[in-house]
Amino acid sequence: MAPEDDRERNRHGQYVGEIPLQDVLDVFETRDDWARPLTASDVMGELDCSRRTAHNKLNELVDRDLLKTRKVGSRSRVWWIPIEQPPDSVRRNAEASESRPRHLVEDVELPGTGRTLEARRDALLASYEYLQEHPEAKKSDFLQDVFPEHPAEYQTAEGWWNAIQPALAKLPGVDPPKERGHIWHFLGG
């Protein structure tokens, strides 16, 4: 006759191991990218435990509504901490994009039509907002800080600048460089 095991079991009849649930949650909470779901292998690697232990702990956290899970393939599953509302930075970016002064660039002449024109208006607006945040900026600042995020279907930064800078000069509060000057100013407005 086998000796009776007095170890604690969860509601599924599984043994509750020596790894505290908080240690498993810490694997999720102490990483840089909260949006990336984790696998049982990720948890195993961090806690140096067996696959079965990782699965048992993860499933217990799902049962307690501290994690969510979903199957991703025939034999794979991922887990994550549910986010009830978007992080503040996502919400701020969404609100900012809704309140961007898009009307300022609607009538400015830029090359292109359709989606290309829209991408170029976005690039112009991003350049304008950049100048507002950096009231003294050089061409190289725009090429380094704005062009990579808003290339507007241009292959080169120089081609992009040749289209953006004349339109930028026409926007309110913008003081373009004087002849042979290099500094763009935002005067407000």
Extents of the domains making up the chain: 21-80, 88-186
Residues facing residue 38 across a β-bridge: 79
Torsion sign over Cα 47, 52, 53, 57: positive
Structure tokens at 186: 């935002």
Contact 16, 10 (CB under 8 A): yes
pLDDT digits (tens, 9 = 90+) for 130-170: 999 999 999 999 999 999 999 999 999 999 999 999 999 99
Q: Give mean pLDDT, residues 168-187.
A: 90
Nearest to 145 by CA among 131, 165, 159, 163: 131
The predicted pLDDT at position 176 comes to: 93
Round the average pLDDT of the chain to a whole number and report it: 84
- pLDDT over 60 (residue 3): no
Please choose, from the candidates 7, 17, 10, the residue with its C-alpha nearest in 3D space to the C-alpha of residue 53.
Answer: 17
> Which fold does the domain 21-80 belong to in CATH?
Arc Repressor Mutant, subunit A (1.10.10)
Query: What confidence category does residue 121 fall into, taking pLDDT thresholds of 50, 70 and 90?
Result: very high
- Rg of the chain's alpha carbons, rounded to an integer? 27
